[in-house]
Amino acid sequence: TNTDPESAADPGALRTPIVAVLGHVDHGKTTLLDRIRGSAVQEGEAGAITQHIGATAVPLETISEMAGALVDPTDFDLPGLLFIDTPGHHSFSTLRSRGGALADIAVLVVDVNDGFQPQTEEAISILKRTGTPFVVAANKIDTTPGWNPQEGEPIQKSLEKQSERATSRLNENLYELIGDLSSAGFSADFYWRVQDFQSNIGVVPVSAMTMEGIPDLLTVLMGLSQRYMKEEMSIDVSGPGVGTVLEVKDERGFGATLDVVLYDGVVREGDTIVVGGRDDPIVTEVRALLQPRPNAEIRTEKRFERVDEVRAAAGVKIAAPDLDEAMSGAPVRVVRGDDVDAVKEEVRKELAKIEVDTAEDGVVVKADTLGSLEAMANALEEAEVPILRAEVGDIAPRDVTVAQTANEEKHQVILGFNVDVLPDAEDALDRTGVKLFDDDVIYQLVEEYDEYVEELERAQQETVLDKITKPARFRILQDHTFRQNDPAVVGVEVVSGTVQNNRPVAKFEGSEPKRVGSLSGIQHQGDDVDKAQAGERVSVAIDGPTVGRQIEEGDELWIELPEKHAKILEQELASEIRADEIEALKAYLEKRRKTDPFWGK
Ligand code: GDP
């Protein structure tokens, strides 16, 4: 269905592999990217690297200059590497393509001194889930005590210049990192020992600061893409463009624009495109394709230059009408030759794959992009938290209204990932008591919510426990009648359970508890108390009976248990009450169930 005349002229062309950088905060992702970009500018001739929207292309020649002896450009036929400029797993999971990760390969940056940290773990689990090949950049080797920096050198050359002490300090850290990777389910080793990068993770010691080991990192990345990804890189570079929305941004003079990473085909000015929108896919026409102007002034209108067409892989800003409802993380497809409705259907299908399963009752989830929404949904499913509604966008009053309709209190909650709370929504939250959790680390968000639920359940059980009648078995002591009746006052010993004041008192006749009266006071060593526990001797006032008639010294008495309370105690609170309370409960149930086997069930 491709009617593009150029496609035949350019068969089997290879596109640039897309590289994402991930890792824990402060482990050096930004520095690493900046330094690779910066030195690419220095090394290559002017213009050797191209700044895209949201990405930087480093061509093969520049890489081979930076890598020195390690890369022979004739070994490679891939055009170079396209680095996504925003590091972190957030943009990584946003950048999805047809159910997988958009990035072809990833660099996981880990500070050698700091080792595995929460966001390292999270990045690992995303890489695992998406099956993305990656290498580990063990960063900041220059901070090893006694390090002798070798600016820009390959790691082996640098290691030759290090003292034995420094080398062994570094190795200790590196082995720990290799151990952590293996605990995470990846067999890993120093990259120079790795034969098969598909089944083993290569660890490359680097310093983003001194650029030691960067030649190695670039070499491994090129090697990895060339060896294992080449087939995926061979695309129809002139076919209709396919990409992913990185961000929807308002630009002066253009209105809402799309920052897109194009991973397939070509997009031209005037093309009809279909973009995933909040409701239905949006069909519109490309008004302008914009790239950053080299050495741009900051003034908005001059920041971009228009280009006629953009080929994959590339980052580009697309200006077109009607983009307000477009979603970050949504697919973008150029319509060329194919019928608009067919492409629309395809986009709809892609979006449906991301659609989150919702339940009758559950929490409201808001995330900034489709990719992060999907990641949230996965994490919540794992934590067995049902979702009532899941949407891309900031938290609006409507979300509060929806959260309020949840049945269970623990579900009257909004979980916001990387989103803002609109001012009206703040008021609505205050007014309704809907709880908001927001964080920009998914697992932390889920953890915070889990803790909240636990606390809530504990508190609920405590209130239930407060209101519930506890089982108690107690005995009237001999020679301890202080008053015959109105009320009867006797000394008792609590055998098991907890005697609470103001509860009906019963005496068993066979399996039938016969109510003898109701407790109206408890005194322990002369002080009024509201309960007495197993082992304690107290005096109790019982309204109703007369000692010597309905009750006698030596009698075994019980606090009468309402059937419903007995049931809750047995089925829900058994783990919350004391062993002697359980004993009293069991004894009570046993008596009652002699004639009514289903009592309290
Ligand atoms: P990010 O949060 O992962 O993007 O981390 P940054 O790139 O912002 O780095 C965090 C801090 O570590 C900054 O102060 C950097 O200067 C520093 N840093 C990054 N890489 C290195 C390195 O290789 N060596 C040293 N000594 N410092 C580094």
Q: What is the pLDDT of residues 289-334, one digit of tens each?
A: 999 887 655 555 578 899 999 999 999 999 999 999 998 889 999 9
CB-ligand 1 contact for 89 (6 Å cutoff): no
390-432 residue pLDDT tens: 988 899 999 999 999 999 999 999 999 989 999 999 999 999 9
560-592 residue pLDDT tens: 999 999 999 999 888 889 999 999 999 999 999
**Helix locations, 13-117, DSSP H:** 29-43, 60-67, 89-94
CB-ligand 1 contact for 344 (6 Å cutoff): no
pLDDT of the residue at 396: 93
pLDDT of the residue at 185: 93
Ligand 1, residues 24, 25, 26: which to mutate, most atoms within 8 A of Cβ?
26
The Cα–Cα gap between 281 and 258 comes to 14
What is the average pLDDT across 424-448?
92
Q: Listing from the earlier edge strand, what are the strands of the sheet with 242-251?
A: 282-285, 272-275, 331-335, 242-251, 255-264, 314-319, 288-292, 304-307
- Compute, in angstroms, the gap from residue 306 CA to the centroid of ligand 1: 35
- 226: DSSP letter: I
CB-ligand 1 contact for 553 (6 Å cutoff): no
pLDDT of the residue at 194: 92
272-285 residue pLDDT tens: 999 999 888 999 99
- 79: DSSP letter: -
201-246 residue pLDDT tens: 999 999 999 999 999 999 999 999 888 877 778 777 779 999 999 8
- Compute, in angstroms, the gap from residue 93 CA to the centroid of ligand 1: 23
What is the average pLDDT across 51-77?
84
The Cα–Cα gap between 463 and 457 comes to 10
Q: How many CA atoms, within 13 angstroms, populate the side-chain half-sphere of residue 186?
A: 28
CB-ligand 1 contact for 207 (6 Å cutoff): yes
Smallest CA separation from ligand 1 atom 10, residue: 26
pLDDT of the residue at 593: 93
The Cα–Cα gap between 370 and 276 comes to 10
The Cα–Cα gap between 138 and 190 comes to 10
Atom number in ligand 1 closest to CA 33:
7
426 touches 460 (CB < 8 A): no
pLDDT surpassing 70 at residue 4? no
CB-ligand 1 contact for 23 (6 Å cutoff): yes
CB-ligand 1 contact for 27 (6 Å cutoff): yes
Nearest to 358 by CA among 307, 324, 326, 405: 405
pLDDT of the residue at 97: 66
pLDDT of the residue at 46: 45
pLDDT-derived band at 7, boundaries 50, 70, 90:
very low
Smallest CA separation from ligand 1 atom 25, residue: 140
pLDDT of the residue at 9: 39
pLDDT surpassing 50 at residue 5? no
pLDDT of the residue at 446: 94
pLDDT surpassing 60 at residue 471? yes
- Compute, in angstroms, the gap from residue 303 CA to the centroid of ligand 1: 28
Q: Is 383 helix (H, G, I), strand (E, B) or coil?
A: coil
Tallying the residues shown for the chain, one arrives at 601
Tokens of 356: 């989150």
Atom number in ligand 1 closest to CA 109:
3
Query: Within the chain, how many helices (H) and strands (E) appear?
Result: 16, 32
Q: How far lies 142's CA from each of 145, 149, 151, 167, 274, in Å?
A: 8, 6, 10, 11, 48
CB-ligand 1 contact for 143 (6 Å cutoff): yes
The Cα–Cα gap between 386 and 264 comes to 36
What is the average pLDDT across 102-123?
92
- Compute, in angstroms, the gap from residue 28 CA to the centroid of ligand 1: 4
Ligand 1, residues 26, 31, 91, 173: which to mutate, most atoms within 8 A of Cβ?
31
**Helix locations, 13-163, DSSP H:** 29-43, 60-67, 89-94, 118-130, 155-160
pLDDT-derived band at 96, boundaries 50, 70, 90:
low
pLDDT-derived band at 1, boundaries 50, 70, 90:
very low
- The per-residue pLDDT of the chain, averaged, comes to 89
pLDDT surpassing 70 at residue 69? yes
CB-ligand 1 contact for 29 (6 Å cutoff): yes
Smallest CA separation from ligand 1 atom 2, residue: 26
307 touches 291 (CB < 8 A): yes
State the pTM of this model. 0.70
CB-ligand 1 contact for 28 (6 Å cutoff): yes
Atom number in ligand 1 closest to CA 34:
7
Average the pLDDT over each of 88-97, 141-150, 537-546 and give the range with the smallest value.
88-97
CB-ligand 1 contact for 184 (6 Å cutoff): no
CB-ligand 1 contact for 291 (6 Å cutoff): no
Q: Are strands 201-205 and 134-139 parallel, antiparallel or unpaired?
A: parallel
- Compute, in angstroms, the gap from residue 208 CA to the centroid of ligand 1: 7
306 touches 321 (CB < 8 A): no
- Compute, in angstroms, the gap from residue 26 CA to the centroid of ligand 1: 6
- What share of the chain has pLDDT > 70, as a percent? 93
- What share of the chain has pLDDT > 90, as a percent? 64
**Helix locations, 420-480, DSSP H:** 423-432, 442-467
CB-ligand 1 contact for 113 (6 Å cutoff): no
pLDDT of the residue at 241: 95
pLDDT of the residue at 18: 93
CB-ligand 1 contact for 309 (6 Å cutoff): no
What is the average pLDDT across 374-385?
90
CB-ligand 1 contact for 120 (6 Å cutoff): no
247-261 residue pLDDT tens: 899 998 899 999 999
Smallest CA separation from ligand 1 atom 22, residue: 140
The values of phi and psi at residue 112, to 5°, are -60, -30
pLDDT of the residue at 398: 93
Smallest CA separation from ligand 1 atom 16, residue: 31
Asked if this assembly's ipTM is beyond 0.90, the reply is yes
The Cα–Cα gap between 497 and 538 comes to 14
User: Among positive and negative, which fits the CA dihedral 392, 396, 401, 405?
Assistant: positive
List binding-site positions for GTP.
Answer: 23-30, 85-89, 139-142
CB-ligand 1 contact for 209 (6 Å cutoff): yes
